[in-house]
Structures are given as structure tokens and as C-alpha cells.
Amino acid sequence: MPTWAWIIIGVAAAIVVLAAIAAAWTRKRRSAGLQERFGPEYERTVAERGKRGKAEGELAERERKREKLDIVPLSPESRQKYGDTWRNVQARFVDEPAGTVGDADRLVTDVMRERGYPIDDFDQRAADVSVDHPEVVENYRAAHAIYVTHERGNADTENLRQAFVHYRALFEELLEERVPASQGAR
């Protein structure tokens, strides 16, 4: 084989190797970015999907969907109104825990609606919230699961208290004035 053919083969092989290295580096960087952005939600999604690639694809899709939403901060008046309502619901918890957990669920949903999150489906709400509030979305899932268990008549007062604490964590995040993580990263 002529020397020029060996040179072309060597250059082509080098290009293939460099492309593979670049692709691996890009995947690793994407993984690290998603891990940092989603925190515990990243690990939960990987465990749930069973494959890192599937989980990362889902998380990236959540980000794309979230980017299309117009999530806005609450006005000071709304923040005050919701804060007052939350304090009233919380004060009633001691005397009527069963009813107040349902009120907390509805109040969180109302705040999400006013901020611009779609609220039709719980799983979609949780996925959307996970983009902006990855540290507390698991609280939301846990609270909602207890609420559903309660609706079936299978939750005791301690479960309801736990649900209320979980709802409060998300509620406080939703009331914040800060720019959601997905908008700050732009």
C-alpha cells in the first residue's frame, strides 16, 4: 500500500478516536450538569428508569418543557394572601389534621397555578416543579402520597403531620421571590 494511503488511514483513525473522546466528554459533562442541577431528583430518576441514559433523557426533556412555561413570581399581595392562608390552615391542624392536609394540597396547587405551572396531572406537576425546586420535589411526592392514602382512610395523625411538613417545604419554596433555577441558568 502506498505511503499516502497509510497517512489517510492514520488521519481517519485519529479523527474517529478524537470524535469518540469528544462524545464521551460531552456525555460526561451533560451528566455532571444534570446531576448538579437536579441533585437528589437525578438519583431518584436514574433508580426509577434503571438506565442513566434514559433518566438523563427524561430530565433533559423536563428542562425543555419547563423552558416553554411562563413561570412568574407571585405578586407581593398574592404572597401575603397565600402566607396568611397557610398560617390559618396550619393553626387548624391541631384540631382537624385530616381536613387541613387536603387544604394544604389545594393551597400548594393554587400557588402553582398562579405562578404558571400546569396543574392538571400530579405526575406532570411534580416533573415541572422538579426543574425549579429539585431539593423539595420529593417532599411534594411524599406529601401527595400520604394525602392519597388518607383519602382511602389509611393515614394516621403522624402520617398527616408528616404530609403537612412536606407540603410546607414546597409551599415555602413556591412563595420565594427568587428567579427559578431554570431561568437563572439562561
Write down the pLDDT at residue 140. 93
How much is the average pLDDT of 21-49? Answer: 81
Write down the pLDDT at residue 73. 93
Instruction: Kindly report, residue by residue over 83-142, the tens digit of the pLDDT.
Output: 999 999 999 998 998 889 999 999 999 999 999 999 889 998 999 999 999 888 999 999
Write down the pLDDT at residue 178. 54
What string of DSSP letters covers the chain? --HHHHHHHHHHHHHHHHHHHHHHHHHHHHHHHHHHHHTHHHHHHHHHHSSHHHHHHHHHHHHHHHHHS---PPPHHHHHHHHHHHHHHHHHTTT-HHHHHHHHHHHHHHHHHHHT---S-HHHHHHHHHHH-TTTHHHHHHHHHHHHHHHTT---HHHHHHHHHHHHHHHHHHH--SPPHHHHT-
How much is the average pLDDT of 24-36? Answer: 77
How much is the average pLDDT of 136-157? Answer: 92
